């Protein structure tokens, strides 16, 4: 297996061969878990790195063959473990950011998870069980969405970005779309209104200014090239102070009078008014529909609390045009996603969403409730941690965030558990928590690591305690 060795330092001779390491205990343990190809690649990379390391040391302090083999074994085992830990895996979100995009946005309700599992095998996704023949895809979700939003029709695609791309492509390809300058937003780094417009083949016609846009600005921009008026919910930011923008009803009226389509991208959107939970400025979809929007799009995995999905509701004629477009076929939702969405919408239809949907429960938890849970959890954790764990637990008031580019100025009062370690810095402690099983994602503020139980399910408290105790005992 060894290639030409003429340029190797003498110490290279002490390195075990690829085959030797492959036959060692670390590799043999990894082979059934990762497969030969990946283990081989790791072994080669580790030996190559060792060769460079040894060459740099020029004879001084180079361990013998046995020592080198032992080190390679240990490094291979660590690399194999890192590989096994990679990929999509369950974590405990103790950041207090409820709709955390990097951590999978909305955690699903138990019913939605059940529905998703059940749909993983064969499922009647596009099949009419009564008739025994082809049915329409996701028609239950469609009828629930009609019921819950008051819209004439609905369509489900992969995410809200897909919904926007589809709507703009179908209604505005090659024509002008009027948008206020205050709504040319970027959401989450890769969704930018001007870019999605360009991709759909529409021509952007900006009107007004960043802070103020009037109805007459839209009016005077309308020409024979115009096809659509677009209103975008700014989602992750707010302009405050001297501001003005026409409401949905005014724009819908103008569009109707001018023979144009009016499309509102509500972003997160809410099926129920969340103002009682202290969450302001998020459009309630039913109200947007009632105000006359021809089509409205929103995400399924933000405030709605369901799986990743993009939902379009609106007038029958407009939604049907979207459904018939070839692009819809490329953006259509998967069966497990539709199953989870149906189960989530069922909770709203039954009137039990506030109890069943994790996002709504987390948003409605009060600082007092979270404080009581935090104190109890900290006490249990102190008990379980031995004397010399070096970990000190405390408590402090703070704020949680809605996240997901929704309600950026709604700060939710919370109670936090503080963690400090005798010998670890804040960043070292935060990193150590990420290495737990399951990984615990925390945040750091003024030198302390913080856990916010708002985003930790009650049934995960035991898991959290066990994982931390295992790290420090
Ligand atoms: C979040 C958001 C999107 C993108 O939604 P995804 O479901 O993440 O694709 C689009 N528009 C607005 C206004 C948003 O807030």
Is the shortest distance between the CB of 161 and ligand 1 below 6 Å? yes
Is the shortest distance between the CB of 335 and ligand 1 below 6 Å? no
User: Is pLDDT at 2 greater than 70 in this prediction?
Assistant: no
Is the shortest distance between the CB of 187 and ligand 1 below 6 Å? yes
DSSP state of 108: P
Is the shortest distance between the CB of 414 and ligand 1 below 6 Å? no
| The pLDDT of residue 59 | 61
User: DSSP 3-state helix, strand, coil percentages of the chain (rounded to 5)?
Assistant: 50, 20, 35
Ligand 1 atom closest to residue 162's alpha carbon, by position in its atom list: 9
Q: Are 45 and 21 in contact (CB under 8 A)?
A: no
Q: What is the mean pLDDT of residues 99-103?
A: 94
pLDDT-based confidence at residue 408 (cuts at 50, 70, 90): confident
The torsion angles phi and psi of 81, rounded to 5 degrees, stand at -70, -40
Residue that wins the pLDDT comparison between 158 and 58 = 158
Read off the pLDDT of residues 190-209 as tens digits, 9 standing for 90 and up. 889 999 999 999 999 999 99
Residue that wins the pLDDT comparison between 67 and 3 = 67
Write the DSSP string, 376-388.
HHHHHHHHHS-GG
Q: What is the mean pLDDT of residues 437-452?
A: 96
| The pLDDT of residue 14 | 82
Read off the pLDDT of residues 363-397 as tens digits, 9 standing for 90 and up. 999 999 999 999 999 999 999 998 889 999 999 99
pLDDT-based confidence at residue 56 (cuts at 50, 70, 90): confident
| The pLDDT of residue 78 | 96
Chain centroid to CA 385: how far? 33
User: Any alpha helices (H) in 86-138, and if so which ranges?
Assistant: 110-118
Residue 397 forms beta bridges with which residues?
415
Is the shortest distance between the CB of 405 and ligand 1 below 6 Å? yes
Read off the pLDDT of residues 115-165 as tens digits, 9 standing for 90 and up. 999 999 999 999 999 999 999 989 999 999 999 999 999 999 999 999 999
| The pLDDT of residue 130 | 93
Q: Are 313 and 320 in contact (CB under 8 A)?
A: no
Read off the pLDDT of residues 203-237 as tens digits, 9 standing for 90 and up. 999 999 999 999 999 999 999 999 999 999 987 77
Ligand 1 atom closest to residue 300's alpha carbon, by position in its atom list: 7
Task: Measure 190 CA to ligand 1 centroid, in angstroms.
Answer: 10
Distance CA 270, CA 298 (A): 9
Is the shortest distance between the CB of 191 and ligand 1 below 6 Å? yes
DSSP state of 283: P
Task: Measure 160 CA to ligand 1 centroid, in angstroms.
Answer: 5
User: Any alpha helices (H) in 239-314, and if so which ranges?
Assistant: 248-257, 285-290
Q: Are 243 and 221 in contact (CB under 8 A)?
A: no
Distance CA 41, CA 302 (A): 40
Residue that wins the pLDDT comparison between 235 and 61 = 235
| The pLDDT of residue 12 | 55
Distance CA 236, CA 162 (A): 19
- Look over the chain and give the mean of its residue pLDDT values, rounded to a whole number: 93
- Residues of the chain with pLDDT > 70, as a percent, come to 96
User: Is pLDDT at 53 greater than 90 in this prediction?
Assistant: no
Q: What is the mean pLDDT of residues 82-92?
A: 94
Q: What is the mean pLDDT of residues 47-57?
A: 88
| The pLDDT of residue 8 | 45
Distance CA 370, CA 385 (A): 22
Residue nearest to atom 5 of ligand 1 (CA): 160
Is the shortest distance between the CB of 310 and ligand 1 below 6 Å? yes
Q: How many CB atoms lie within 10 A of CB 203?
A: 15
Distance CA 149, CA 107 (A): 23
| Angle (nearest 5°) at CA 56 between 52 and 62 | 90
User: Any alpha helices (H) in 86-159, and if so which ranges?
Assistant: 110-118, 139-149
User: Is pLDDT at 409 greater than 80 in this prediction?
Assistant: no
User: Is pLDDT at 432 greater than 70 in this prediction?
Assistant: yes
| The pLDDT of residue 6 | 46
Ligand 1 atom closest to residue 405's alpha carbon, by position in its atom list: 15
| The pLDDT of residue 389 | 92
Read off the pLDDT of residues 11-43 as tens digits, 9 standing for 90 and up. 456 889 999 999 999 999 999 999 999 999 999
Q: What is the mean pLDDT of residues 243-248?
A: 92
Residue nearest to atom 15 of ligand 1 (CA): 267
| The pLDDT of residue 230 | 98
Residue nearest to atom 11 of ligand 1 (CA): 267
pLDDT-based confidence at residue 60 (cuts at 50, 70, 90): low
Q: Are 79 and 50 in contact (CB under 8 A)?
A: no
Q: What is the mean pLDDT of residues 412-427?
A: 97
């Amino acid at each position: 297996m060894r290639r030409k060795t003429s340029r190797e330092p003498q110490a290279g001779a002490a390195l075990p061969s690829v085959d030797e390491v492959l036959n060692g205990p670390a590799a043999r343990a990894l082979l059934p878990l990762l497969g030969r190809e990946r283990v081989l690649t790791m072994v080669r990379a580790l030996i190559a790195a060792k060769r460079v390391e040894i060459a740099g040391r020029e004879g001084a302090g180079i361990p013998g063959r046995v020592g080198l083999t032992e080190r390679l074994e240990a490094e291979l085992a660590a690399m194999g473990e890192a590989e096994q830990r990679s990929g999509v895996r369950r974590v405990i979100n103790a950041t207090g950011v409820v709709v955390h995009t990097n951590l999978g946005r909305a955690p699903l309700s138990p019913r939605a998870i059940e529905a998703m599992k059940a749909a993983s095998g064969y499922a009647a996704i596009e099949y009419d069980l009564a008739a025994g023949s082809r049915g329409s895809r996701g028609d239950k979700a469609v009828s629930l969405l009609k019921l819950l939003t008051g819209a004439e029709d609905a369509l489900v695609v992969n995410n809200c970005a897909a919904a926007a791309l589809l709507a703009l492509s179908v209604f505005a390809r090659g024509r002008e779309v009027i948008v206020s300058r205050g709504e040319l937003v970027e959401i989450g780094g890769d969704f930018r209104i001007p870019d999605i417009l360009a991709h759909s083949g529409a021509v952007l016609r900006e009107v007004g200014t960043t802070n103020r846009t009037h109805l007459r600005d839209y009016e005077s921009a309308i020409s024979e090239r115009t096809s659509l008026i677009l209103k975008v919910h700014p989602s992750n930011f707010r302009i405050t102070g001297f501001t003005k923008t026409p409401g949905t009803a005014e724009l819908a009226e103008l569009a109707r009078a001018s023979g144009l389509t009016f499309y509102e991208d509500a972003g997160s959107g809410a099926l129920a008014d969340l103002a009682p939970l202290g969450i302001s400025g998020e459009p309630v979809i039913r109200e947007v529909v009632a105000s006359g929007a021809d089509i409205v799009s929103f995400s399924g995995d933000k405030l709605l609390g369901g799986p990743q999905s993009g939902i379009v509701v609106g007038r029958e004629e407009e939604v049907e045009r979207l459904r018939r477009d070839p692009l819809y076929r490329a953006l259509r939702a998967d069966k497990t996603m539709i199953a989870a969405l149906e189960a989530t919408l069922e909770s709203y239809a039954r009137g039990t969403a506030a109890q069943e949907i994790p996002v709504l429960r987390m948003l409605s938890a009060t600082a007092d409730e979270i404080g009581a849970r935090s104190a109890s959890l900290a006490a249990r954790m102190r008990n379980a941690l031995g004397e010399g764990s070096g970990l000190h637990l405390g408590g402090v008031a703070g704020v949680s965030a809605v996240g997901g580019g929704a309600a950026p100025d709604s700060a939710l009062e919370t109670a936090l558990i503080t963690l400090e370690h005798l010998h670890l810095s804040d960043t070292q402690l935060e990193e150590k928590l990420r290495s737990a099983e399951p990984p615990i994602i925390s945040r750091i503020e003024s030198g302390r690591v913080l856990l916010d139980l708002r985003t930790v399910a009650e049934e995960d408290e035991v898991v959290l305690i066990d994982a931390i105790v295992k790290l420090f005992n």
